[in-house]
Amino acid sequence: MLYEQIEPILRQEYPKVWKELYFLNETYKNIITQKIIKNCEFLETYEENKQVVKELVEWFRTVPKAIKSSFELISLSFDELKEIKKQSRNKKKKNLTIQANALRRNFRRFIKLTYEDDIWQKQFDADKQNSEKSYIIIPASNDIENGLSAYDVKQFNISRKIAINLDILGHLESFCNTYLSFKGFFLTLTLPQEFQNCSYEEARKEITKRWKRIKSSLKYRDILYLGVEVIELQKNETPHYHIQLWINPQYEQRLKLLIHKHFSNEAERFDKAVKTIRDAIKIMKYCCKDKRKDNSKSYTSFIGLKKDIRARYNSLYHNKKYKELSDYRTYKANKIIHYKVSNYLLLLLIRGFSDDRLNSLSSRHPDKYYILTDKQNELVINIFEICNNEYYFKLNNNKIFIYNIFELYRSKYIYYIVICYIYYIFLLSLLYITKKVYARLVFDYQCDKSKGQPPPCNYI
């Protein structure tokens, strides 16, 4: 049974409901009708169509006002939205495509429809993709149609962001394992069943609030934690977290207790919700598997690193100076990045941690708050030598710092000083020799018939 079969009855007996449903796309009307028929218990004393209409009206009364008011926008095609945007004079207005996708997501969550079964959404995404592919940004030299399109640029930018995230994660994992000797945990945190049917915004706010409470509890106890968090959608488009977290092993039980407290729904599957990290890069690639899809709502952010860490990394990758970083740190970080090997020194070189006590490990006067073992003390020496271009030695148990002559020579300071000194000595020697030779040639007097008196002037 389709909606058009029950529409005359609905229009005649419930005109207000029909009027509000009028703007909804026919695809969605038919889907709602089919779902109502599956849950409807038909009685022999009434007509089947009238019973479906009655159940439809009862269902419509449960629909939130926000979803009712969005029927017209979610029913527009991509070309229609594009035309509306062209005619709109308000340039600062929110992108209608993003707004329509968000409203359709909430509508699907309410009627319990998956993205794979939403035919209208898939058609919308296909039209959008074809429009991006048809818009050529950089035409080819011989064939204009095969140039670089907006879709190609979009996919390239996504690939670059994923690559930057993977590189930063590799350096972070190396720092946590090599220097801090932390233990890594892979957390998969979901919301209880009661948040499966609410709007996406409400579910996102709830899960973010719960995770923030865990981080605040750790920070209140002055427990250092580092990692990366990825928020993405489940099959029913409910947001959930994939988190890679490194923490001191002695606080493992504290972390598990906090997860039990704020995500009590994970108690039955706690072994799957909290796992030990074996390969951080492989996990990150798994979390980014849907990043290229049009319906992807995956957000990646680092824990314990500065908010501009991606901008720092991208700038240093191209060997460009970034804010307070010195030329030496820029040069050294660029070399480490292009080695394509995870190195715990990179984040210290670029001062990428949000905790200044970690950044100070690469300064001349390191904060030893996190230095607890002899191994870490030895690594601090190595960190200081590389990050500050200096060496130090011990004399009577006192540390004395000296400059690294080879690195200074590389930076051209001593080179220019030596060259200038050689030129200066050369010019003075040349002037001295020229003066003596000239004096011998000019004042070469002969003493004829002299009675022993000296010549007019002394000469060599």
Q: What residues does each domain of the chain span? A: 3-134, 182-304, 326-395, 412-460
Judge whether residue 445 has pLDDT over 50: no
Q: How confident is the model at residue 78 (pLDDT cuts 50, 70, 90)?
A: very high
Task: Tell whether the model's pLDDT for residue 382 goes beyond 60.
Answer: yes
Q: Can you tell me which residue has the tokens 């939205």?
A: 81
SS (H, E, C) 405-433: HHHHHHCCHHHHHHHHHHHHHHHHHHHHH
**What pLDDT, on a 0 to 100 scale, did the predictor assign at position 85?**
82
Residue 94: φ, ψ to 5°: -60, 145
Per-residue pLDDT at 421: 78
Question: What does the block give as tokens for 352?
Answer: 């990428």
Q: What is the pLDDT of residue 345?
A: 87
Predicted local distance difference test score (pLDDT) of residue 144: 55
Alpha-carbon distance 218 to 224, whole Å?
A: 8
Q: Which of 24, 29, 23, 22 is nearest to 56 (CA)?
A: 29
pLDDT of residue 323: 82
Radius of gyration of the chain (CA): 37
What is the rounded average pLDDT for all residues in the chain?
82
State pTM to two decimals: 0.78
Domain 182-304 in CATH 3.30.70? The answer is yes
For residue 231, give the 3-state DSSP assignment: strand
